Amino acid sequence: MSTALTPSQVPLPPATGAWQEGDPPGRRLWYDLPAPLALEAGGELAGVRLAFETWGRLAPDASNAVLVLHALTGDSHVAGPSEPGHPTPGWWDGLVGPGLALDTDHWYVVAPNVLGGCQGSTGPASLSPDGRRWGGAFPFLTQRDQVAAEAQVADALGIDRWALVVGGSMGGMRALEWAVSRPGRTGALLLLATAAAASAEQIAWAAIQLHAIRSDPHWQGGDYHATDHGPATGLAQARRLAHVTYRSEQELHVRFGRTPQSTEDPWRGGRYQVESYLDHHADKLVRRFDAGSYVVLSEAMNSHDIGRGRGGVRSALRRVTAPTLVAAVGSDRLYPPSQQRELASGIPTADALRLIESPYGHDGFLIEVEQVASLVGELVPHPRTHQEKT
């Protein structure tokens, strides 16, 4: 018999995996918005703080700034090792750094933790102005609110215009919002595995995940942060479901097939390898993320519609003036290439749709770093390559 712990025997995680005041700051910097942030849905959010990380040095004329925007469960730690304050290594570690596509000897790279997130920026796990955790009282956010907060960080850094804005999935939604709402501040645009508007199927997948979290008895309407146990079971289930949509059927078949996990017998209560794989990713997430942030950010993604109040998607996309590349992952079943084709055909400054070849599904935009680096190089050539050509 296997001596490995079953999921029910693994020690319970803390109520939240959010970064908390008193935790090691790591590489984070912070900016406090000087006034409450007006929200698209009405009302305002007071006491907003955004965490962000930077790499490189800002040029005197601020012409070398690049904005990198993370996906749903990402954070500001784009590059660098796992260290105190950063439980995981950089999620695009092969893209940002000396000599890489975003060469930090030349580019000044900025990566904020999204508003509503849980790794240093104001979110449900943060203290509200009254000194209590926001919890279930945290307001509904949209991508436009998040970009409005990021624009204030750019202002504080003295960045009037980004040389490049890049993002995938949820980060791509915000990158697109930057280019549509602030075209004069977006010098070039790279959109990866994202959409002009959340589809009915994407909303449906998210709704099931949100139901899993809210059905957890420890959810308590979102006010669990001061308790011993948060809705870890619900968040873990949401992650299992989401992770299946992030990967392709081909990869799961080739990698796992129907193989049992170690000596476990699926006919006698044991698991298949693919089940163990999902359990592993679920456990990792509940120890580094916050269920309230997962809810807030998922709802913001569901609200994403670049054409809302702008005469529709086609009209909104015509506002983009930045040279643009749109890339799809061929095996992506969550954000299928048809959505990126709509972006590439609707943005007047976009080149032909590019395809990232990958067996990994939606996560291909994170895994296929060399292909992403090549796309970055088309929009903002590596300074050494540019010098050689001139």
Query: Is residue 268 in some structural domain?
Result: no
Query: Is residue 91 in some structural domain?
Result: yes
Instruction: Give dist(CA 168, CA 246) in Å, integer.
Output: 13
Confidence check: pLDDT of 2 > 80: no
Query: Is residue 145 in some structural domain?
Result: yes
Number of structural domains (the chain) is: 1
Closest Cα partner for 193 from 378, 354, 370?
354
Mean pLDDT across 65-85: 97
Confidence check: pLDDT of 385 > 80: no
221 contacts 230 by C-beta, under 8 angstroms = no
Instruction: Give dist(CA 289, CA 303) in Å, integer.
Output: 21
Tokens of 339: 């959505």
Which of the following is catalytic: 169, 181, 293, 331? 169
Query: Is residue 208 in some structural domain?
Result: no
Model confidence pLDDT, tens digit, residues 222-259: 999 999 899 999 999 999 999 999 999 999 999 999 99
Query: Is residue 248 in some structural domain?
Result: no
Please report, as a single letter, which amino acid is at residue 374: S
Please report, as a single letter, which amino acid is at residue 211: H
pLDDT at residue 386, as a whole number: 43
User: Does 332 qualify as catalytic in the annotation?
Assistant: yes
User: Does 362 qualify as catalytic in the annotation?
Assistant: yes
Which of the following is catalytic: 290, 332, 358, 363? 332
Instruction: Give dist(CA 275, CA 279) in Å, integer.
Output: 6
Q: Could you list the residue range(s) of the whole structural domain that residue 372 is in? A: 9-198+305-389
Which of the following is catalytic: 218, 362, 363, 382? 362
Q: What's the whole-model pTM score?
A: 0.95
The 3-state DSSP class for residue 266 equals helix
How sure is the predictor about 12, in pLDDT bands with cuts at 50, 70 and 90?
A: confident
User: Does 32 qualify as catalytic in the annotation?
Assistant: no
Query: Is residue 230 in some structural domain?
Result: no
33 contacts 50 by C-beta, under 8 angstroms = yes
Q: CATH number, domain at 31?
A: 3.40.50.1820
The 3-state DSSP class for residue 173 equals helix
Query: Is residue 53 in some structural domain?
Result: yes
Query: Is residue 293 in some structural domain?
Result: no
